[in-house]
Amino acid sequence: MSSDSRLRLPYLSDRDLRGSWPWLAGGLAAVAATGAFAYLARAIVKKRRVDRVLKEFHDTLIVPTPKLKELCGEMLNEVQAGLRGDKSSLLMLPSMVDILPDGNEKGDVYAVDIGGTNFRVLHLRLSDERGQVAHTDLRDFTIPEEMYSCHINELFDLLAVRTVEFIRDVRRDSPSLEKPLVGFCFSFPVEQTGLASGNLIKLTKKFENAGAVGADPVLQLAEALERKGMPAHVSVLLNDAVGTFAGGRYMDEDIMLGIILGTGTNACYLEKRSNIRKGRLPDLSHSEGMLINTEWAGFVSSNLPLLEEDRTLDWHSVNVGEAVYEKMVSGLYMGEVARHILITLIERGRLLGGKVPDAMREPWSLETRFMAGMHTDNTLLLSEVSAAMYCLYGVGPWEMTYFERRQVQEVCRLVCLRSARLIAMGIAALLKQMGRDGSEGPAPRTAIVMDGGVATHYPAHKDMDPESRLL
């Protein structure tokens, strides 16, 4: 065969080339379409594989309404057993608070509040106008990591140092020789022996401080303040849920429930004194009710929708086997549950090509605030999901298909959904206990006050699921 007979492209002049653009464009489009189709086909196959595993989580995390109603009845039984002093997973601790704010209180007061990842010191000046606050000054402090495991005296010394600095700053323009009046919001289970005294039952969340259990938190704070040069009158000891309730009642007389949903969770409600049959109560003949600190974080039931990932989380927590309900609903744990589920989707469903990023194996690396951001991402291409996965785990935008971003978002949504429905279940149980569920005629107006990081900074948590209404 001669060289002239070999297949060669014909020479095209500029004019010929211009006339060939439709043909070239059509060919390139066909090639691109073929590649895009192949890419899309592979992405759909991967999506279906991950979706099969994701459905297993979906069926548990949605917590169907019949199961919620069953759990509601079980929590109600635990509430009533705890009030009788019988064995119960709910401590049902009398708060000794039987006189509630009515909006007519006046004067200056300071408060120290410690519970989860931070603590705060507060100054309030109550107005002469009913239910109004004339002035508020608040400072937030992050708790250093070493403070979770130091001796309890060191933790209280830190509280005292910041409190003394704060009070001196507030009083700089009008020094006072009077002992400051300080309320102490201490968000751990305490068996109260009086309005301003009690014994710590146990520490929760990340705290494991030696010398804490059995001690009186009021005495510890007062002694620490004196060591730091400012004797004070610590006038009341409150749990965070009780404090939230009292603060809400100052502005709304129909507040009947105080809920904390932040790093941890708790609830308190107004109970008839005649129903409280555990322990010895002071003579409260002038009051028919008392706030009960439920400590519902420890609620246990075989019907709770637990995953294997929940059990893994529990095993690596500082309080193994405790606070089961709290670990399913609160801010310290939701992101960690989501992280474990994502690892399962990668290993079993081949999400992200089946390779778990090294950074994703780091415990507690997916904080709930990042989970909330991915859950509420409404951008066209879920760019916030992509940005979070890149910043946290080094997964580049080019390494995740759109379908995979949607699946990551769905994990976040499902974990939040379970939390929202279980919190709704707990609220329903307490409304039933108070006879305010409408089951025996029209229910009176009942207001609920909520506080905590999840309650205030994760609005989708309370808005996402209208079917959470059980009553």
Using the Cα atoms of residue 401, residue 406, residue 410 and residue 413 in order, give the sign of their dihedral: positive
d(CA 274, CA 380): 57
Residues 220 and 187 in one domain: yes
Q: Is residue 35 situated within a structural domain?
A: no
CA 197 to chain centroid, in Å, comes to 28
- Residue 93's DSSP bridge partners are 293
Tell me, what amino acid is at 163? T
Residues 166 and 264 in one domain: no
Residues 205 and 290 in one domain: no
Residues 215 and 83 in one domain: no
Task: Look at residue 332 and tell me whether its pLDDT is greater than 90.
Answer: yes
Domain boundary among 174, 209, 238: 238
300 vs 35, higher pLDDT: 300
Q: Identify the burial level of 324 via C-beta atoms within 10 angstroms of its C-beta, where 0-12 means exposed, 13-18 middle and 19 or more buried.
A: middle
d(CA 384, CA 377): 6
Q: Is residue 326 situated within a structural domain?
A: yes
Domain boundary among 191, 208, 238: 238
The pLDDT of residue 108 is 78
Q: Is residue 297 situated within a structural domain?
A: yes
- Determine contact, residues 115/240, Cβ cutoff 8 Å: yes
d(CA 396, CA 380): 17
The pLDDT of residue 32 is 52
Q: Is residue 165 situated within a structural domain?
A: yes
Q: Is residue 25 situated within a structural domain?
A: no
The pLDDT of residue 176 is 67
Beta strand pairing call for 181-186 and 107-114: parallel
Residues 268 and 205 in one domain: no
- Number of domains comprising the chain: 2
Using the Cα atoms of residue 393, residue 396, residue 399 and residue 404 in order, give the sign of their dihedral: positive
Residues 226 and 360 in one domain: no
What CATH number is given to the structural domain containing 376?
3.40.367.20
Question: 87-117: string of b/e by CB count within 10 Å (b at 16+)?
Answer: ebbbbbbbbbbbebbeeeeeebbbbbbbbbe
For the segment 102-119, the average pLDDT, to the nearest whole number, is 79
- The listed range with the strongest mean pLDDT (124-138, 173-187, 277-291) is 173-187
Nearest CA among 387, 468, 470 for reference residue 420: 468
For the segment 193-201, the average pLDDT, to the nearest whole number, is 88
- Determine contact, residues 406/56, Cβ cutoff 8 Å: no
Residues 264 and 132 in one domain: no
Alpha-carbon Rg for the chain, nearest whole angstrom, is: 29
Host H or E run for residue 212: none
- What is the pLDDT confidence band of residue 269, given thresholds at 50, 70 and 90? very high
Q: What is the pLDDT of residues 289-298, one digit of tens each?
A: 889 999 999 9
Tell me, what amino acid is at 183? G
125 vs 70, higher pLDDT: 70
Q: What is the pLDDT of residues 246-266, one digit of tens each?
A: 888 878 889 999 999 998 999
Domain boundary among 192, 207, 238: 238
Structure tokens at 246: 């009292």
Question: CA angle, corner 66, sides to 60 and 69, nearest 5?
Answer: 110
Domain of residue 148, residue span: 99-238
Q: Is residue 371 situated within a structural domain?
A: yes
Percent of the chain clearing pLDDT 70 (strictly above): 84
Residues 300 and 266 in one domain: yes
Task: Look at residue 3 and tell me whether its pLDDT is greater than 60.
Answer: no
Q: Over the chain, what is the mean pLDDT?
A: 85
Q: Is residue 16 situated within a structural domain?
A: no
d(CA 97, CA 243): 10
Return the half-sphere exposure (C-beta side, CA atoms, 13 A cut-off) of residue 240.
25
Lowest mean pLDDT among 31-45, 118-132, 162-176: 31-45
Return the half-sphere exposure (C-beta side, CA atoms, 13 A cut-off) of residue 145.
0
Task: Look at residue 134 and tell me whether its pLDDT is greater than 70.
Answer: no
Residues 125 and 268 in one domain: no
Nearest CA among 332, 240, 330, 334 for reference residue 294: 240
d(CA 304, CA 422): 9
The pLDDT of residue 377 is 94
For the segment 341-358, the average pLDDT, to the nearest whole number, is 94
Lowest mean pLDDT among 81-85, 95-99, 333-337, 346-350: 95-99
165 vs 285, higher pLDDT: 165
d(CA 97, CA 276): 13
Nearest CA among 405, 426, 383, 76 for reference residue 261: 426
Lowest mean pLDDT among 11-25, 104-118, 449-463: 11-25
d(CA 357, CA 34): 31
Q: Is residue 17 situated within a structural domain?
A: no
Lowest mean pLDDT among 4-8, 97-101, 294-298, 381-385: 4-8
Residues 109 and 161 in one domain: yes
Residues 188 and 317 in one domain: no
- Determine contact, residues 85/77, Cβ cutoff 8 Å: no
Separation in Å, CA 7 to CA 2, 4, 11, 28, 280: 11, 8, 12, 22, 104
- What is the pLDDT confidence band of residue 9, given thresholds at 50, 70 and 90? very low
Residues 283 and 414 in one domain: yes
Task: Look at residue 372 and tell me whether its pLDDT is greater than 70.
Answer: yes
- What is the pLDDT confidence band of residue 90, given thresholds at 50, 70 and 90? very high
For tokens 């043909």, name the residue.
23
Nearest CA among 152, 178, 155, 156 for reference residue 167: 178
- The listed range with the strongest mean pLDDT (1-15, 117-131, 135-149, 217-231) is 217-231
What CATH number is given to the structural domain containing 116?
3.30.420.40
Q: What is the pLDDT of residues 112-121, one digit of tens each?
A: 888 777 888 9
Nearest CA among 113, 150, 425 for reference residue 239: 113
The pLDDT of residue 1 is 42
- What is the pLDDT confidence band of residue 354, given thresholds at 50, 70 and 90? very high
The pLDDT of residue 170 is 84
